[in-house]
Amino acid sequence: MDVTNLESVRDEDFIHAVMEESGQDLTHCYQCGNCTAGCPCGFAYDIQVSQIMRNLQAGRKDKILNSRSIWLCLSCSSCTTRCPNNIDVARVMDVLRHIARREGRVAEKGVTTFWDAFLASVRKHGRVYELGVVANYVARTGRVWTDIDLLPRIAPKGKLSPMPHGIRGRDEIARIFQRYEEERTR
Amino acid sequence: MNLAYYPGCSGLGTSREYERSTRAACAALGVKLTDIPDWSCCGSTPAHALEHALSGALSARNLVGAARAGCDTVATPCPSCLSNLKTARHRMADTAFRARVGRLLDQPADELAALPDVQSVLETLVTRVGLDAIRARVRQPLAGLRVAPYYGCIMTRPADVMRFDDPENPTSMDDLLTALGAEVVPFPYKVECCGASYGVTRRDIVARLSGRLLGAARDAGAHAVVVACPLCQMNLDLRQSQVEWPGGKAVDMPVFYFTQLLGRALGVPDAELGLEQLCVDPAIAFRRAAQVVAARQAEEAAQAAKAAAQAAKAAQAKQAAAANEGGRA
C-alpha cells in the first residue's frame, strides 16, 4: 500500500498553476470514475486519470509529473465528454504536459521525441514533411527498425512525398517558434 | 458565403486520396473550395501538448489568411486540423489568450478578434448541400455495401467547442452513407480512439485500440469501415497488418474515406478518387456488396418463381374446378 503524508507533499503552487492554466476548477471532481471508465488508454497508464485528478487535489506534483500516463493520454476527450461536473479533463492533461515539459520531466521520451521531430519539421518548412519527421525520430532514438514492416505496403501507393512542401511564409512560421522560445526563457 | 479550404499537411502525403476525393466530390456537388493562400501547419497534437498559445498562433495564421481572402467559413477534411482551428478560434474570446497569441504572430492582434467559422467537410456537405440534394445526384447507389461508420474521437468532441452532431453517437455520416444507398451496420465504437499518432512511438497501443475497432466492424458484418480522419485511416488501413484482432481472427477489411464512397455514388471516375491508394484492396468490399446484391436478386427470383408456380397451380385448380362444374351442368 502507498502511504503518504498529505501535509508534507501538498504543493499549493502546483495546484494553482494547473487551475489557472487549464481554467478548470479541480475541486469539482468527486471521484465518480467516469473518466477512467471511458479512457481508451487506461490499460497502458501507470496512474488512472481519475487518480491523477485526486492526486491533483492533494497537490502531489511529483507523483503526477513523473507519471507515464500524462504522455500516453491520446487527447480523445472521452473524459471531458463524460465528466458529470463539466471538468475539461483532457485540457487538464494537456496543461500537465506543458508544466512537465517546462520542468524537463518526461517519463515517455519516445513520445516527446516524436512530437519535437514533428514541430521541428513545421518550423523548418511551414508544413509537416512526413518522411522527414520519421527520419528525424529514428535518428534521435536509434530505433532504426521503426515501421520498416510497413514500407512494402505503402511504398507502391505513391503517397509518400520524397521532398518537403515548403511554403513562401516559412520564415513567418520560424518566427512564431522563435518568439515562443524567447517568451519561455524570459 | 465564401468557403475557404484548409487541406492539412497529410493531404499532401499519406492521405492524398482523401484530398483528391474531397476535391472531386465537392466539385461534383458544386461546392467551390478556395484554398487559404500559403496555408501552414496547425501544429496538430505536438503543438497543443507543448503550449496552447503556440498551437493558437499556428492555427490563427491560417484563419487570418482565410479572412483576408474574404472568406467567412473555413472547411477542412482533417479532424485534427479542425480541432486545432476551432479550439484556437474558441479561445480567442479570452482577451489575455488573444494577446499572448498576438505576441507570437507577425499579423496584428486585432485581426484575431473576429476569425472565420470553422467546419469539417462532412458538416459542409450535410448542412450546405444537404442530404436530399445529395440523394438526388446519386447515379451509382452503393447497393449491398455494408459499412461501419467510424467518426474518430475528436470530430465531435469536446461538444462545447466542436458544436457538430452528437458527441458520443454522431449520425451525420450514417445518414450520408444511407443516402448513397449503403447499409450502415450498428457500430458501437463510432468515437472510440484508434490510438492516434502513437503508432510510431508505442505500436502496442495502436495495435490494441485499432484492432478492437476492426474486430467490432468484422463482428457487425461490415464489408468496410468508413472514416473521416487521415490518422484513423492510416491506423486502420496501413497498420491493419500490425493490429491485434480480437479472437485472433484476421480478415481483410477495406477502410474508405467517406468522400471516396460519396464520389463513387455520384459517378465520379475511380481514378479521381484515389481508390488504388488504399492499402487493403477496396475491391474486396465491392465484391462482397455484389454478392449481397446477387444473393438478394436470386432470393427475389426464387420468391417470384415460387409465387408464379403457386399462381399457376391456383389457376390450374380453378380451371379444373370450372371444368368440373361445367361437366355437372
Is the predicted pLDDT of residue B161 greater than 70, yes or no?
Answer: yes
> Using CA atoms, how far apart are residues B179 and B149, in angstroms rounded to an integer?
13
Q: Which of B50, B150, B203, B232 best probes binding to A when mutated, by most A CB atoms within 10 angstroms?
A: B50
Of the candidates B124, B156, B176, which is a domain's last residue? B124
Mean pLDDT score of chain A: 96
Q: Render pLDDT for B43-102 as a digit per residue (tens, 0 to 9).
A: 999 999 999 999 999 999 999 999 999 999 999 999 999 999 999 999 999 999 999 999
**Cis before A162? omega within 30:** no
**CB of B46 less than 8 A from some CB of A:** yes
Q: Render pLDDT for B163-216 as a digit per residue (tens, 0 to 9).
A: 999 999 999 999 999 999 999 999 999 999 999 999 999 999 999 999 999 999
Q: B240 in a domain, yes or no? A: yes
Based on the fold, state whether residues B145 and B281 are members of the same structural domain: yes
| Phi, psi at B259, each rounded to 5° | -70, -30
Minimal CA separation from B199 to chain A, in Å: 9
Nearest by CB to B200, which of A127, A147, A173?
Answer: A147
Q: B280 in a domain, yes or no? A: yes
Q: How confident is the model at residue B302 (pLDDT cuts 50, 70, 90)?
A: very high
Of the candidates B82, B99, B124, which is a domain's last residue? B124
Cβ distance B284 to B252 under 8 Å?
yes
Of the candidates B124, B153, B174, which is a domain's last residue? B124
Count of domains in chain B? 2
Q: B279 in a domain, yes or no? A: yes
Every domain of chain A and the residues it spans: 6-102, 109-185
Nearest by CB to B46, which of A81, A110, A119?
Answer: A119
Based on the fold, state whether residues B251 and B182 are members of the same structural domain: yes
Cβ distance A69 to A49 under 8 Å?
yes
> Using CA atoms, how far apart are residues B190 and B167, in angstroms rounded to an integer?
10
* Mean pLDDT along residues A84-111: 97
Run of H or E residues at B256: strand B255-257
Q: B36 in a domain, yes or no? A: yes
Range of B216's domain? 140-289
Q: What is the pLDDT of residue A9?
A: 87
Which CATH number goes with the domain that contains B70? 1.20.1050.140
Q: What is the pLDDT of residue B324?
A: 86
Cβ distance A18 to A96 under 8 Å?
yes
Q: Render pLDDT for B248-299 as a digit per residue (tens, 0 to 9).
A: 999 999 999 999 999 999 999 999 999 999 999 999 999 999 999 999 999 9
Q: B133 in a domain, yes or no? A: no
Based on the fold, state whether residues B118 and B150 are members of the same structural domain: no
Cell 455495401 maps to which residue? B145
Q: B312 in a domain, yes or no? A: no
Which residues in chain A have their CB less than 8 angstroms from residue B278's CB? 157
One-character DSSP codes across B288-321: HHHHHHHHHHHHHHHHHHHHHHHHHHHHHHHHHH
Instruction: Tell how strand B146-150 and strand B224-227 pair up.
Output: parallel
CB contact under 8 A, A176 and B158: no
Nearest by CB to A81, which of B14, B44, B157?
Answer: B157
Based on the fold, state whether residues B75 and B144 are members of the same structural domain: no
Question: What's the CATH superfamily of A6-102?
Answer: Alpha-helical ferredoxin (1.10.1060.10)
Q: Count the Cβ atoms, other than its own, within 10 Å of residue A1.
A: 2
pTM, two decimals, is: 0.95
B33: left (phi over 0), alpha (psi -120 to 50) or beta: beta
Q: Which of A49, A88, A114, A167 best probes binding to B when mutated, by most B CB atoms within 10 angstroms?
A: A114
Q: Render pLDDT for A43-90 as a digit per residue (tens, 0 to 9).
A: 999 999 999 999 999 999 999 999 999 999 999 999 999 999 999 999
Based on the fold, state whether residues B191 and B91 are members of the same structural domain: no
* Mean pLDDT along residues A92-115: 97
Q: B319 in a domain, yes or no? A: no
